[in-house]
């Protein structure tokens, strides 16, 4: 093993015999562009609703539930698709989430939620992962569209305005603390403390 590493190191250190410096530089540059473009394109493809619901686990469970909610159909026709809420929009965080998602790919391969029963059994755990993520990033994915600064409390109902003034503005709570189960059905909440529902 050590000798292989040593040989590789030796080859890498030796100047090229057959190819010019210009060729190697330009070649490396072009290969870099292709790699980077390909990487981002692949990531964008994996960041679409079509990709998400290509697995029946998503299509038959969570996506089916989303369809009747306001984030899917509403008066103004703006739709939030899966990645809008479940994948950070900023590049670094997006890549970090994508790496964490490799565990979900593994789960898909071994079929950890490939039946409705398995999904229902695991749904509380899955939901708690998302709630924890939203809590940790201060509901970033909500705030990508619903900005606190742009919220006109006078245009909200009295109940909503009061709650937002009391809890959202002082930063005491974040969106997900109150707005759970708005795009998907809630799991069995008996195990969740009353104050956190």
Partner 1 sequence: MKYLSISIVAIALLAGTAFAEDKIATLRDAAITETLSPPAMAPAVNTHLKQVRNYPEQPPLIPHKIDGYQVDLNANKCLTCHSRAAVGESQAPMISITHFMDREGQFLASVSPRRFFCNQCHVTQAEARPLIENTFVDIDTLLKQ
What is the contact surface with partner 1 in residues (CB under 8 A)? 68-70, 157-159, 162-163, 178, 181-182, 185-189, 194-195, 197
- Nearer Cβ to partner 1, position 85 or 87? 85
Neighbours of 80 (CB within 10 A): 20
DSSP symbols for 11-41: HHHSPPSSS-HHHHHHHHHHHHHHHHHHHHH
Q: How far is the CB of 193 from partner 1 (least distance, A)?
A: 9
- Nearer Cβ to partner 1, position 108 or 189? 189
Q: How far is the CB of 114 from partner 1 (least distance, A)?
A: 21
Q: How far is the CB of 171 from partner 1 (least distance, A)?
A: 16
Q: How far is the CB of 98 from partner 1 (least distance, A)?
A: 30
- Nearer Cβ to partner 1, position 87 or 113? 113
Tokens 């306001």 label which residue?
A: 70
Tokens 């015999």 label which residue?
A: 17
Residues 6+ apart with CB under 8 A from 73: 67, 79
């Amino acid at each position: 093993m050590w000798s292989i590493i040593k040989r590789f190191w030796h080859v890498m250190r030796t100047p090229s015999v057959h190819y010019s410096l210009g060729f190697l530089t330009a070649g490396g540059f072009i290969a870099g562009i292709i790699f980077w473009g390909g990487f981002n394109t692949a990531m964008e493809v994996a960041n679409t609703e079509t990709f998400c619901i290509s697995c029946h686990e998503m299509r038959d469970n969570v996506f089916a539930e989303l369809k009747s909610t306001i984030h899917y159909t509403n008066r103004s026709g703006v739709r939030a698709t899966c990645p809008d809420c479940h994948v950070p929009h900023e590049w670094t965080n997006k890549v970090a989430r994508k790496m964490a998602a490799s565990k979900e790919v593994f789960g898909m391969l071994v079929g950890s939620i490939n039946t409705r029963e398995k999904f229902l059994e695991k749904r509380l755990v899955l939901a708690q992962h998302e709630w924890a993520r939203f809590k940790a990033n201060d509901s970033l994915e909500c705030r990508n569209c619903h900005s606190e600064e742009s919220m006109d409390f006078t245009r909200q109902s009295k109940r909503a305005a009061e709650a937002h003034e009391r809890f959202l503005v002082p930063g005491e709570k974040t969106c997900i603390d109150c707005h759970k189960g708005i795009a998907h059905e809630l799991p069995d909440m008996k195990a969740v403390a009353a104050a956190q529902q």
